[in-house]
Each structure stands twice: as structure tokens, then as C-alpha cells.
Amino acid sequence: MTHIKTVLLASCLAFISTAAHADSECTPRPATAAESKAYRDARAAFLAAAPAAPQGWTAADDPKEPDLGEQCKEYSPKSFHFTRRYQIEQKERDARGEVELKAVQGTMAKQEQTQKSNQARIDAIDKEVEEITKENIAAVQAKKYDQIEKGNQKINELIEQKKKLMGYGEMENSNQETSAVANHDIEATFTLETGVNNPEVGDYKPIASPVGKAYQRQYDDKGNQERDIKIVIGTTTVYISGDPTRVESLFHSAKLQPVQALR
């Protein structure tokens, strides 16, 4: 999940400063009254906006601290991130994992049987590849480069034939489908960020929104469709990411409002 992923990596911080501060000196100091109020206002807006966990799901917020805490004398926070991560309950994850394991084991058994039944043809391909390799070595010594290229092309074709005879392609496709089913709609995120001026839209497309301006993009993630929605409300930006249907539900149930930026 991506776009959003950059935001989520930062969401563990109570405040976001520029990357240049990452390795700079930090002298601890108490947060100012203005910083503390901005943090509390942003957190209150986040808690009011973020939908509760759906039935059969859990939700965890980051950061959890009600107060801002110490800051650095060298710089001041200009924005705040809060993220609620939704996940299906562990028992459902375990159940899906068991189904996936059995399916993979069945696919492996089928692949082994396919390879066994085609072993004679596989051995013949191995022998042919060995002969072409010897011819290529001789061609290198004779500087017959066109022959080498043709030999390599033939070897690649034989390797593809061998993979089919061994059932590898079918096994890979089956395992990908099994994994997609097991990982379908298992988590989503809702992030509120304050103090954002003119956030980048990139490849997002505009969509209707009851408040502010909203944008979305959708893409395939290992066999599953994922959707990201970005809602811009003044200097407040909300990011929602997950399964398209899940994201749509979170989008329409969120109670969105702008938050006063810290200046």
C-alpha cells in the first residue's frame, strides 16, 4: 500500500520535522503551550474523524499519547500525523492461513506428480541443453558469435519447456491466487495529517467529497485491488488505504473537519 506507505512510516512519530533534522542535534525541551494545544486539537480531530473498527476487526492508533511530550530546542513541529490501523481478527487470519497452507501443499503434491510423469522428457531436455552448451563453448573459441546467440536462445526456449513439464508455472499461478484470497481485505489504514500545504496529488484522480477536495487511485497489489483516497481540507489531509470496498466505507463514515495549523 503503498504513497500512503510513506505517510505510515512517519506516523509513528508524534510530530514530523524535515529530513534534515533526522541526524541533527536535539536538545530536549518542554513543548510550548501552542504546540501542545495544536497536538491535542489534531488528536481530537483524528479521534472524532476515524471510524471505529468494523465487526470482526481490531483497530490500533499510533501515536497513543494524549500529550505531545518533549521537543527539540533546535526546531519546532509544524505538522502532526495520527494513524488508525484496522486488521481482521487473529482467529480469521489463522483460519485463512490454514486454508492457504493446505492449498499450497496440494499444489506442491500436484507439481511433484507432474514432474514425475514428465521426467523422461525433462531428462531429454537436460541432455540437449548440455550439448548446446558444449557447442557454445566451441563457438566462443572460434569467435562464432552468431552461433552463440542462437544457442543461448535455444537454451532459453528449452528451459521454458522444462518449467512447463515440471509444472512450475501452474504451481506459481496457483500459489499466487491462493495468497491473494488469503490476503484479501485483511487490513486498512486511516491517517490524519495536519499542517500540510498544497499536498501532491500525483496520479490520483478527483472524486466527489462531502468536505474539502478528494482524490483517489486504484491498483493491483499481488492479485488484489487496492484503493487510496486522499482528502484535502485546508491544511489538513486525510489518507485512507485498503480494499476498495473497505476504503469506500471508511470514507463515507469518517467525520471530517479541518484542523487549525500550527504556525
Residue 1 CB burial class (10 angstroms; 0-12, 13-18, ≥19): middle
Q: What is the pLDDT of residues 215-249, one digit of tens each?
A: 999 999 999 999 999 999 999 999 999 999 999 99
DSSP letters, 53-75, are PPTTEEEEEES--SS---EETTB
Q: What is the pLDDT of residues 68-82, one digit of tens each?
A: 999 999 888 889 999
The amino acid that residue 213 corresponds to is K
pLDDT score recorded for residue 22: 47
pLDDT score recorded for residue 261: 55
How far, in Å, CA of 216 to CA of 207, rounded? 7
pLDDT at 113 over 60: yes
User: Is 43:82 a contact under the CB 8 Å cutoff?
Assistant: yes
Least confident of 107-111, 121-125, 255-259: 255-259
Mean pLDDT of 3-29: 52
How far, in Å, CA of 196 to CA of 157, rounded? 54
Positive or negative: CA dihedral 250, 188, 233, 79: positive
Exposure string (b/e) for 9-24, b if CB count within 10 Å is 16 or more? eebeebbbbeeeeeee
Highest mean predicted confidence (pLDDT) among 165-169, 174-178, 185-189: 185-189
